[in-house]
Every structure is written in C-alpha cells, then in structure tokens.
Amino acid sequence: MRILVVTTFLVCSASLVLAQNQREENLCNSASAATVNHADGVIVQDIVLTGKWGTNDAMAYLPDKEIADGGIVFSHSVIHSDGATVDLVPLAFTLAQAGAAVIVPKRALIWPPTDQSMNREGGVVICAEHWLIDHTKVFNNGNGITKTVNGESVLVRMGYGYVGPRLCDPSISSYCQLTGPFTFDDCGFTRYCRTSVVAVPIGETDGGDNTNRVLSTGGLKEAQWLQKHLGLTPIGTLVIQRPASGS
C-alpha cells in the first residue's frame, strides 16, 4: 500500500507538471533586445516580445548597476482617455533612476474600457514579466525583506511591483479569468512565480483604481508609493522629458 501511495503521488506530480508546461507552451518565445540609450544612470533597451498571442515591442529601463533595488512591470506605456493622453514613460524612467529595473510594453490603455476584457490582454504582460526575471538581478533575489513584529514575520520591503489592471488568463479563451503577471505561473513548477509583489492598479474596473489620479498628476504619488515599498531612492519629482534614443 505504501508503494502504491508513493507511485500515485509521483504520477499526480508528473501530471501537474505536464499540465503546467502545456499551459505555458509557446506563451513566450525568446525575446530580442538592443540597447538604444545610456544616460542619467539608466540603460534603455528596445525589446521585442513574441509568443502564441502575437508580437509587441517594449522598452526596458534598467538602473546602471549590477543589482536593482526592485523590479517593476507595466502593462501599458500610455493612457488615452476622452481625448487626453498621458505618457507613462516618465514614470517608468523615474523609477529606473531611483533603482528599479522596469519593463514597459508599448501599447495604449483605453480609459474607461468599453468591455470587461479591454486592457486586460495577458500574454504580452506575462512575457514582459518573464523577460524581466530572466534578464535582471534584484536585491535579495526579489524575495523582499521581513522583520519580526510581536513574534510574527512581517514583509516590510517588496521585491517586485506591477502597474496595470488584472489580466485575462491567456490560457483560457472562453472567458476572462483574472490573473496577474506574477501569479499566472504555478509557484510549485516554475521560477517565474513571485509572491513579494506590490501593485498600482490602473485600468481596473473592479475595486481600487488609480487611473484618474495618474491622468491628472502623471503618477508622482504612485512613483513615491512604489519607491517606499520597494526600498528605492526617494523620488521628489518625475523626469518630465522622455529619454532620447541613440547611443
């Protein structure tokens, strides 16, 4: 009976691994990257993300040091709302100057959305998160830092951040099952899962949302909030000018 139990466990484990691999199959292909600028303490790279969901360009803003203080994934690079446009690149570049490794897919978030799944395309954002984990080193391996309070461990510094809405699970086509770029992957079977994550919700239609404030202020409060929770260098203002391309 004991042997049977062990055998059954191994078969179930193998089935779970196979299911996870099938779920992720071809979701993200190898991404190409090229450095297009290096100034003001930030390395700017042009990324091409591809997978079974399609192709999308992205920009990476990396602090000029071996180990970043945190990693941040954006879902979009710009917000369009009733004729108004807010570029999120200054927010991303400011966070990179403060010590975070940041990746930003080049695409527009439409606000307000016209249906439940708008702005929630999951494949490109999950592949952006995979690229960030594959190509950057984050302080304490991105596990955050805890301290003991009243005998319990409390997380006081996160390893990763996300700016965007919850996503439609790209492995499900019949309906939108909500997930996130750091929670899509099963923690038991893949290295892309992260649990020390703080999120700034934009484009979110259920629960808290910061889109209107970002539209009015450009995201300074959000930058300062991420800075506090990721242990970045203090942020006083956003970098207004978009960094120029070129070597």
What are the residues facing 49 on neighbouring strands? 56
Question: Would 195 be classed as within a structural domain?
Answer: yes
Rounded-to-integer distance, Cα 45 and Cα 101, Å:
11
Q: Are the CB atoms for 80 and 111 separated by under 8 Å?
A: yes
Q: Are the CB atoms for 167 and 176 separated by under 8 Å?
A: no
Question: Would 235 be classed as within a structural domain?
Answer: no
Rounded-to-integer distance, Cα 90 and Cα 31, Å:
24
| Total count of domains within the chain | 1
E strands, the chain, where?
Answer: 32-39, 42-51, 54-63, 70-74, 78-81, 84-87, 100-105, 108-110, 145-149, 152-157, 160-163, 167-168, 178-179, 197-200
Q: Residue 98 is which amino acid?
A: A
Question: Would 247 be classed as within a structural domain?
Answer: no
Question: Would 39 be classed as within a structural domain?
Answer: yes
Question: Would 242 be classed as within a structural domain?
Answer: no
Question: Would 239 be classed as within a structural domain?
Answer: no
The residue range of the domain holding 76 is 2-230
Q: Residue 20 is which amino acid?
A: Q
Question: Would 238 be classed as within a structural domain?
Answer: no
Instruction: Give the predicted TM-score (pTM) of the model.
Output: 0.88
pLDDT in tens, the chain (247 residues): 444 444 443 334 333 343 444 445 579 999 999 999 999 999 999 999 999 999 999 999 999 999 999 999 999 999 999 989 999 999 999 999 999 999 999 999 999 999 999 999 999 999 999 999 999 999 999 999 987 777 777 778 999 999 999 999 999 999 999 999 999 998 887 889 999 999 999 999 988 999 999 999 999 999 999 999 999 999 999 997 554 544 3
Question: Would 96 be classed as within a structural domain?
Answer: yes
